Amino acid sequence: MKTTLIFLIMMTLTNSCRSAFTESPATEAAPQEDIIKLVNKNDIQGVRNALENNIDVNSKDANKRSLLLIATNNGHLEMAKLLVKYGADVNLQADNMDSPFLYAGASGQTELVKLFLDHGARFDLFNRYNGTALIPACERGHVETVKLLANTKNFPLDHVNRLGWTALMEAIVLGDGSKKYQEIVRILKDAGAKLDIPDFNGTSPLQHAKQRGFNEIVKILTSGI
């Protein structure tokens, strides 16, 4: 009888210990999961309250997206401003290599790009194509974003991505030659981008423009030569 009683007491203590260890991580994770939900819902006041209660402003979701990247993915400018105000890192990269700054550039969110430039955006971090924030902005025709980045001091205008393309090359190869792409080529040229960096096959931006019949872009590239 005494042996049985001792055994039951030991089992109770063991289960209590197990419960304590298993419940602790869940308890710690809950506030982080809560703020991720609040950011996704664009609940400004809820997020402010959480941050004032010392929840980590650089919390990440299961895909390592920071709160600021989630806000940027959702196009929530005011939420992004709030997170930056509380010290969010504009350079934290997710599993897919996106950072708030890189994604803002790629998606043409010029106000966010400006915000992130003012808060320490790095130019030596690259997306999954080893590209800058400028290269996909050129590809997608985001004229104002291109103008901002191309005229930002020390921005790597001539960076070559994993495909062998610069921002200029991408505007030509993946653009349609329309007015917005003509404007992008003009912006890059005026900002001092090198016009003769070829792709991995040795084809220059000018040759690509000629092959595609982008006559206006050809004129821009050759004017003043």
Residue 52 belongs to domain with CATH number: 1.25.40.20
Write down the pTM of the prediction. Answer: 0.85
Q: Do 72 and 121 share a structural domain?
A: yes
| Final residue of a structural domain among 95, 125, 155 | 125
Report the pLDDT value the prediction gives residue 194, as an integer from 0 to 100: 98
Residue 66's beta-bridge partner residues? 60
CA distance 193 to 20: 60
Average pLDDT for consecutive 10-residue bins of the chain (225 residues)? 47 46 39 91 97 96 97 98 98 98 98 98 98 98 98 98 98 98 98 98 98 98 85
pLDDT at 225: 61
Residues 212 and 164 in one domain: yes
- Specify the residue for token string 């897919």: 96
Q: What is the DSSP letter of 88?
A: -
How many CB atoms are located within 10 Å of the residue 144 CB?
16
Range of the domain at 97: 27-125
205, 196 in Cβ contact below 8 A? yes
Give the model's pLDDT for residue 30.
Answer: 53
